[in-house]
Structure 1
Amino acid sequence: MKWFIAPLALGLAACAPSTAQTDQAAAPYDSTPPEITEHMPQPAVLVFSKTRGWRHNEGIAGADRFFAEFTSENGMGLFTTANGAVFNADQLARFDLVVFNNMTGDTLSPDQEQAFQQWLEDGGSLVALHSAGDDSHEDWSWYDTNVIGPQFIGHPADPQYQDARVVNLAAEHPVMQGIPADWTHNDEWYSFDSAELGDAVPLLGLDEASYSPENLLYGPVQDLRMGGGPEGHPIAWTRCLGEGRAFYSAIGHNHTSYDDPIYRRMLSNALAWVRARDATKRGCTRAK
């Protein structure tokens, strides 16, 4: 079954908002932390999917299923929530890893943002997916600048979902072990205002000749080409922040992304890498 998504003005979020699909007018920040059972297995993963912008329902569901399967197979605990009040020092201390599962908009209070920043820089682990890297997070400047970096400028429309050639840019990186040199994947492909990632390590790039990087339906930006070959259009990268590690991937708009065995392997590698700690910090800097 194909679902129709109404096109609206580009530039406010990764997918143009509609009254049926967005939560921007939702209630203020959550203030009552959720109850977490004392019997939650350790180590544990927190999957956070609150949205106050566009809500990627299918992508959220697909990622939730993937993390449920992964934690079950690896004997880990799992807690999924859209309650931002979980971002407090006491509850964050119970988790080895946080997943921003298609999070959009101004979801956390300044105190909650600070609690997460401190947790991550003190040695936490983050996996951020798809719209967790769109342009709806500008209220949280630390995250927007230091975790994501380049600014989302749009995605193709008409057609919105396309097959594209995805290229492995860092074959020696631990996250890319077992990932082919390139493969074809179908998704909603993000473009950013720059390929400059600072001290991040680019992992995947798009071959812009393999799909139509144009938005032909709405908004001021129509030509979404970033240029320069796959290395000029990164869509996944890693960063080290303090003692913590972060992985971002722009893949994951639809649930079908999480059925792709190559992408599942990459996510599994990413979960292992962000949690790894070693003296050399392997994978934190670009190969010379």
Structure 2
Amino acid sequence: MKKIIYTLLFFLFTGSMFAQSQKDFPVTEEWLEKIEALLPSEPRVQAPVRKIMVFSQHTGFYHWIIPHNDEMLKILAKKTGAFEITIARDIDSFDKKNLKQYDAVILNNSNPSGPDRDLFADLLKKNSSLGEARIAELSAAYEGNLMDYVAKGGGLFIMHGAITVQNNSQKFSAMVGGSFDYHPKQQEMHLKEVDSGHPLVQAFNGEGFTHIDEPYFFKNAYFDYNFRPLLYIEADKLEGKRAEVDNNTIYVAWIKRHGKGRVFYSSPSHNAQSMDQPELLQFFLDGLQYVVGDLPADDSPMDKPE
């Protein structure tokens, strides 16, 4: 009953916030104090302090939650003592030498512009006077650096829109588990656990997670199902989808291996109000511990739907 009452109050509050303006939700001291109180006090697994680079630059659609995520992750690092967080925005952050000093990289809603959907090329165009051929060459090199970093054992945590970082690259799509296709309007969604016994969804206690967000649909490597799904939504419960969905299932969070490294994707992370539910914050912490290799979890690929 307590959970039901909390959920109702959450949606009454967030509903009014959405009716105003999502952009009228600044990072305030009051919000920081609330998030600090909601965040877990310690990680599930005690381990050495891990160094994390949070890349929070974008060139396309700006997700207003970017600064909220930055602050949440900094508080999480301090409160648990499990991480050292570096916020990065420069493309040189993806130099091989720089990447080597980190245990994991978080891509924080790092959306590139369309239709090319190439964040590295966008940043080079914006911050240099290089010609198109050289930009294409360097962009491919930065993409390769990130992919090699993961293949050699680095962790990669992708938040919501950052799945578009190299959205038209088939190689990148294969590494992260898919590419962004489209999303209908924001709406209330009930995310359900694929396997309530999986260690990375313990936070939801078998009850799933309900919030307001963009329901993402995916393409490219997504249909290889070369990942271990964690959360899904039911297509027939959504408004505005373009076509019917096989098996009525859309996976919105998953983990997977890439070489010696680990990848965690979480579509939930569009609205800061979602973090009012501590289950999501615990889910983020567990995912981060997974990608740095501290929280063991079954990440074998799922069986393809028939």
TM range (shorter): 0.7 to 0.9
Separation in 2, partners of 1:82, 1:277: 27
Q: 1:205 to 1:114 in 2, by over 3 A?
A: same
User: Which residue number in structure 1 is paired with residue 289 of structure 2?
Assistant: 272
Q: Deviations over 1:144-166 (max 9, x none)?
A: 232132x433212xxx3211111
- Alignment partner of 1:174 out of 199, 212, 234: 199
Q: 1:225 to 1:59 in 2, by over 3 A?
A: farther
Shift of 1:250: 1.1
> Does residue 1:107 correspond to 2:119, yes or no?
yes
**Residue-by-residue CA offset, 1:211-261 (whole Å, 9 max, x unaligned):** 42x0xxxxxxx52542423xx211111110111000011111112223321
Of residues 219, 226, 249, the one that matches 2:266 is 249
The runs of 5 or more residues in structure 1 that have no matched partner are 6-40, 215-221
Hey, what's the Cα distance between the residues in 2 that align with 1:233 and 1:138?
Answer: 18
Identity fraction in percent? 24
User: Which of residues 66, 71, 77 in structure 2 aligns to 1:71?
Assistant: 77
SS at match of 1:177: helix
Residues 148 and 62 of structure 1: CA distance in aligned 2, closer, same or farther (over 3 Å): farther
**Which residue of structure 2 lines up, in the alignment, with residue 133 of structure 1?**
163
Q: TM-score, normalised by structure 2?
A: 0.69
Give the conservation status (yes or no) of the 8 Å contact 2:167–2:180: no
Which has more helix, going by share of residues?
2
Over the aligned positions, Cα root-mean-square deviation in angstroms equals: 2.5
Q: In structure 1, which of residues 135, 139, 143 is the aligned counterpart of residue 172 of structure 2?
A: 143
- Structure 2 CA distance, aligned partners of 1:242 and 1:193? 22
**Residue 100 to residue 224, structure 1, CA distance change in 2 (3 Å):** farther
CA contact (8 A) 1:191 1:225 kept: no
1:152 maps to 180
Secondary structure of the 2:247 match is: coil
Task: Tell me if structure 2 keeps the 8 A contact 1:45–1:77.
Answer: yes
Q: Distance in 1 between matches of 2:102 and 2:292?
A: 11
Is this contact kept in 2: 1:208–1:227, CA < 8 A? no
Q: Deviations over 1:184-214 (max 9, x none)?
A: 21111112248634320011000234442x0
Tell me if the contact between 1:174 and 1:273 (Cα under 8 Å) persists in the aligned partners: no
Post-superposition shift, 1:55? 1.4
Give the Cα–Cα distance (whole angstroms) in 2 for the partners of residues 111 and 193 of structure 1.
24
